[in-house]
Amino acid sequence: METPDKGAGTSVYLATSPEVKDASGLFFDDKQRRRELSEAGRSDALARQLWEVSKELVGVSTL
């Protein structure tokens, strides 16, 4: 687990750096290291399935 300062580093970097002002749809880790999302991470069908399972697990019927 990271310290709060280190954990916030990527969020602060993304919010303040002009280098990434136009970046969208990318995964950032450890500030500047970018990775493309996997196919599963871009899947609308899997996102819907995850949402349905999550609702069931927390006992929410509609949102």
- Contact yes or no for 34/23 (Cβ under 8 A): yes
Residue 21: what residue type?
K
Determine the Cα–Cα distance for residues 63 and 52; give it in Å rounded to an integer.
Answer: 11
Q: Give the DSSP letter of residue 35.
A: E
pLDDT at 4 over 90: no
pTM over 0.75, yes/no? no
Helices (H), the chain: 4-16, 44-58
pLDDT tens by residue, 5-63? 888 888 898 899 998 889 887 888 776 666 777 889 889 999 999 999 999 999 887 66
Identify the pLDDT of residue 52.
94
Spatial distance between the Cα atoms of 54 and 38, rounded to a whole number of angstroms: 21
Whole-number Å distance between alpha carbons of 13 and 28: 10
